[in-house]
């Protein structure tokens, strides 16, 4: 018999969309987690703020298009999916759905 833990998804209010510069990154809290919020070509994305390789904050990194460069070892992640996109990073960062309501960014976090 397989036991499954129910998963709850919750939208967490973060920061005003205007606080994230176009083609920029900002840090926020969502559900007790540090998240990095990105504005690219009029769309918003969110990932965990902590690099899976060097434990640095991605919100301190350099955003180039859809790629965020970790400030510690210059590894790359795709902000749309969290996929590792450049060495030395090989493990993806967690990505989260984002929505805007009344000019505020909300991030959806799954909780077990």
What is the reported pLDDT for 27? 97
The candidate with the shortest Cα–Cα distance to 37, out of 61, 5, 55, 54, is 61
pLDDT tens digit sequence for 81-90:
999 999 999 9
Residue 105 has pLDDT above 70, yes or no: yes
Q: Which domains does the chain have, with CATH numbers?
A: 8-111 (2.102.10.10)
What is the reported pLDDT for 26? 98
pLDDT tens digit sequence for 45-98:
999 999 998 889 999 999 999 999 999 999 999 999 999 999 999 999 999 999
């Amino acid at each position: 018999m397989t036991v499954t833990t129910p998963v709850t998804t919750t939208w967490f209010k973060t920061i005003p969309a205007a606080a994230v510069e176009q083609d920029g990154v900002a840090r926020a809290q969502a559900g007790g987690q540090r998240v990095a919020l990105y504005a690219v070509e009029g769309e918003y994305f969110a990932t965990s703020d902590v690099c899976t390789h060097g434990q640095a904050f991605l919100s301190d990194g350099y955003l180039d298009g859809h790629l965020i460069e970790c400030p510690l070892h210059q590894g790359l992640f795709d902000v749309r999916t969290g996929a590792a996109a450049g060495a030395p990073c090989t493990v993806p960062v967690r990505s989260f759905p984002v929505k805007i309501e009344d000019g505020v960014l909300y991030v959806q976090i799954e909780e077990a």
